Homo-oligomer: A and B are copies of this chain.
Amino acid sequence: MFTYQTTVKIHDTDAAGFLFFGDQFKIAHDAYEAFLDAVGFSIQYIIQEEKFLLPIVHAEADYFVPLSVGDRITVQLQIESVSKTSFQILYDFLNDYGKIVGNAKTVHVAVDKNSKKKVSLPDKFVEAIQNF
């Protein structure tokens, strides 16, 4: 399990007073970027050096407790599954009391950077994310 910590910023909230639901996905992706960096496949490296991209083809989230500006959040990220051409990531969002306040899931596929067609996930990438 990979852990990422952040604080809800005021631009993540809206006039109803709480985190805008779309920004929970943004925070999930921030955690994913930190995870990729930790396993040696930073997004910058993938975009600049690799032949594949990893677009998200499905995303979902549950919201259990409204979050406010200043709330410190721990995101617990784990790989749920990996197949030949795709992988799924789960994110649990915990507040300072260790309570799960929400979750998210993203499903990624590997595509060729030029043709945008599905390709197999490179072995070295699968190894990297599974060995964490």
- A interface residue numbers (CB < 8 A to B): 7, 9-11, 13-18, 20-23, 25-26, 29-30, 33-34, 37, 42-45, 47, 53, 55-64, 66, 68-71, 106, 116
Are A58 and B61 within 8 A (Cβ)? yes
The one of B20, B26, B60 in contact with A61, judged by C-beta atoms closer than 8 angstroms, is B60
The one of B9, B21, B43 in contact with A33, judged by C-beta atoms closer than 8 angstroms, is B9
Given the interface contacts A15-B13, A20-B11, A70-B44, does A61 sit within 8 Å of B63 by beta carbon?
no
Are B57 and A63 within 8 A (Cβ)? yes
Are A11 and B37 within 8 A (Cβ)? no
Are A66 and B55 within 8 A (Cβ)? yes
Q: Which residues of B contact A64 (CB under 8 A)?
A: 57
Nearest chain-B residue to A68 (Cβ)?
Answer: B44
The one of B20, B53, B58 in contact with A16, judged by C-beta atoms closer than 8 angstroms, is B53
What are 18 inter-chain pairs, A to B, with CB distance below 8 A?
A7-B34, A10-B29, A11-B22, A11-B23, A14-B15, A15-B17, A15-B43, A15-B68, A16-B53, A20-B29, A21-B55, A21-B56, A22-B23, A25-B25, A37-B70, A44-B68, A57-B64, A59-B60
